[in-house]
Amino acid sequence: MTAATIGSKSGDFVDRLSEQYKNTDSRLEAVTQQTVYIEGDTYTRELRNRLKRALEPLENRTKWCQQTLTHVMSIDEALSLYTEVNAHLVDVVANLPRLSTNADISTLASAAIQIINAKEKAGLERAVLANTFAAEQFSPGMLGVVVALISAQDAYLNVFQQHANPDQRRFFRDQMKGLLAQEVDRMRGLAIAGAAGNGFGVAPDHWFRMMSTRIDRLQAVENRILEELRSTVVTLAAGAKRSLIVTALLALSVVTITLLLGYFLTRQILGQVAGLQGTISSIRNGVDLSKRVKVTSRDEIGSTLHAFNEMLDELSRADMGSRTQLETKLREQAGQLAEADHRKDEFLAMLAHELRNPLAPISSVLKTLERERNALSIDAQKGLKMVERQVVHMSTLVDDLLDVARITPTTASNSAKPPWH
């Protein structure tokens, strides 16, 4: 619109130019608000700086409008200004695929970038030829610019079709075919043929409308690709959240199984130790050598208890002359039992701490998911509540296990003294 206004001295495009600048103000405000949100979210510092550099020249847009309306700005100056702004904005978009390593996102983004580049060149072609048709002549060097712009559009669109999927290519062909494409090609041919000074015979307003329609159709292709890109990002984000929940559930399951195994193992150990303490107490109080310890395992404690029972069998059959020797052996067995009990206490303490360590990252994951609870599905929220309850339950069990590890040594030492002390 700026180029058409500069080329036309009749003022036919003044109202449209003013409306175009109002539209630019509205869109710039929307972009600025979105940038504020993005800066606090996922954009990298480099990308924010690129976007800032792209938007800075637009602060002078009111001055550009006045210079255009008063015919102070030349077509070369206008093209230079808008080419610089568009180049910076396209550069921002071109760097967006760097934010993701996903192949589908990169492919969709690359296809969209080619359409954006082609659309930007189409906008420049619209401006140059609108000025040319309005002035009824090419400005110096503008013919070569037009040819280069047409070639650039063709190149970008060829690259787009290499990145696009079959549905996108089909939609693009549907948008570009028909009378519109024929009319644009016809006016391009008239412009090149009339460069020798024979006149163009093209109304600048008609050219502007046709190219605007072409640009709008390129925009429709771009919007379709961006919608697919948005859908892909949403799907991948949902999948990532589900994976995070599944990972947390698997980790919780492993910890739960480990905790249950540790719990049952601890009960078995404590049961055997309690039986040993009862037998020792019976022998100490009543010198009853008929008492035996119940053996329920084949580990070190079970082997020691079995040896202790054999020693009691031997002691009950021995005569008085060998009693002193057997009592010495009993002291040795009691020492072995005390050592086994000490190792049991160390095992309980280590087991409790090892079980507590995985609970910290799980709790951290749960806090992260809790902050995004509203973004989860109903089933995911129910699963999250279940995980939270189980983590609290496991934390209580681990604390109880630590209490047992702290209390048991004192209890065992007070109740497991041999009968000769």
H or E stretch including 122?
Answer: helix 103-135
**pLDDT given at position 319:** 46
In this prediction the pTM is 0.51
Residues 40-95 have pLDDT tens digits of 445 566 666 776 777 777 777 777 666 666 666 666 676 666 666 666 666 666 66
Name the band, by pLDDT with cuts 50, 70 and 90, for residue 157. very high
In sequence order, what DSSP letters do the residues of 343-386 get, joined into one string? HHHHHHHHHHHHHHHHHHHHHHHHHHHHHTGGGS-HHHHHHHHH
- For residues 160 and 323, the model is more confident at 160
Does position 401 have pLDDT exceeding 70, yes or no? yes
Mean of the pLDDT values across residues 155-162? Answer: 94
* Angle, alpha carbons 303-309-315 (nearest 5°): 135
As a whole-number percent, the residues of the chain with pLDDT over 70 amount to: 69
Does position 27 have pLDDT exceeding 60, yes or no? yes
Residues 190-242 have pLDDT tens digits of 998 887 777 788 999 999 999 999 999 999 999 999 999 889 888 987 887 78
Does position 421 have pLDDT exceeding 60, yes or no? no
Identify the weakest region by mean pLDDT among 21-30, 88-97, 120-129: 88-97
Does position 318 have pLDDT exceeding 70, yes or no? no
As a whole-number percent, the residues of the chain with pLDDT over 90 amount to: 21
CA nearest to 203, candidates 195, 398, 211, 392: 211
Per-residue exposure over 197-217, b if at least 16 CB sit within 10 Å of its own CB, e if not: eeebebebbebbebbeebbeb
